Homo-oligomer: A and B are copies of this chain.
């Protein structure tokens, strides 16, 4: 089953969100508008808006209200991606386009800042202080998560717990509050917004683990980038950490990672990827993702039996099985 089919019932509301996002990032500055529209066109799964919309069904749903939560959350996600691009641009730049990519870096950084600020103007229209609190705290955690990822690059000695804490901040929190804020904005009972937060958190964890698995097991066609990109960057993910626990593979894998590190991104990560693929790291990571999905579905138990609840469960199951 495709994610799009799950979205079918939300189609018109999602389109309204898409239109609002596009309007929000439009400005008189041609470069800003072009960069933003480029990002809009690149699309994405729009997971956060979907979770806001579905969670909003547990309160007094109004498109106008949920829009003002969904649009900023997806824009904040987008701003994070643009800032990650600044780093990526910096790497391509080691090749040839030095001046041009420097220019792009500025644009990318300021475009990220702009989209982020625009997102906040939309939230502020709701006039709900609680939403500002939840949101700003989550953004702080996300920034720390990004820094942790940089800190942990090529750190092969890190614990599974360290990895989980990092993806919690980097990914799971924003999905958790997407669910929570959809409920808060529509005045759903606290018991429900709490359950939705737990649901989102666990789905977010599973989502990131699956993402990290796809970077090892996926095909370039399916995931839109060559597999092994994480390792090339130095990002040591769950399947790799599990593979490193296998005494028969550990030394070979460490040697490959050392080679990648020494080459400063120029080396091929495919030998390392092959080792991880053959390891128990894949199965163990899948099991971990499944455990998070089970917890997410369990959190839904607190909620009344609306269609939205069924949809959330379907998306959760889809997340762990997706191949893109």
**Hey, which bits of chain A sit against chain B, CB under 8 A?**
27-29, 31-32, 83, 86-87, 90, 94, 98-99, 102-103, 105-107, 109-111, 113-114, 116-118, 120-121, 123-129, 132-133, 135-137, 139-140, 142-144, 146-148, 150-151, 264
Cα distance A103–B150 in the bound complex, in angstroms: 9
Known: A86-B105, A264-B99. A139 touches B151 (CB 8 A): no
Known: A106-B87, A121-B133, A124-B133. A143 touches B113 (CB 8 A): yes
What are the residues of chain B within 8 A of A143 when measuring CB–CB?
A: 32, 110, 113-114, 117
What are the residues of chain B within 8 A of A107 when measuring CB–CB?
A: 147, 150
Nearest 9 pairs of A and B residues by beta carbon: A127-B129, A120-B136, A114-B143, A124-B132, A117-B139, A121-B136, A124-B133, A117-B140, A113-B143
Is the Cβ of B144 less than 8 Å from the Cβ of A114?
yes
What are the residues of chain B within 8 A of A116 when measuring CB–CB?
A: 116
Is the Cβ of A144 less than 8 Å from the Cβ of B109?
no
Is the Cβ of A129 less than 8 Å from the Cβ of B124?
yes
Give the distance to chain B from A45, nearest Cβ to Cβ, in Å: 23
Q: How many copies does the complex hold?
A: 2
Identify A31's interface contact among B98, B126, B147, CB under 8 A: B147
Is the Cβ of B118 less than 8 Å from the Cβ of A140?
yes
Is the Cβ of A32 less than 8 Å from the Cβ of B144?
yes
Is the Cβ of A105 less than 8 Å from the Cβ of B129?
no
Identify A123's interface contact among B109, B132, B142, CB under 8 A: B132
Is the Cβ of B86 less than 8 Å from the Cβ of A109?
yes
Cα distance A125–B139 in the bound complex, in angstroms: 15
**Which of A27, A87, A106, A113 neighbours the largest number of chain B CB atoms within 10 Å of its CB?**
A113
Cα distance A57–B36 in the bound complex, in angstroms: 42
Cα distance A106–B87 in the bound complex, in angstroms: 7
Cα distance A32–B106 in the bound complex, in angstroms: 21
Is the Cβ of B140 less than 8 Å from the Cβ of A114?
yes
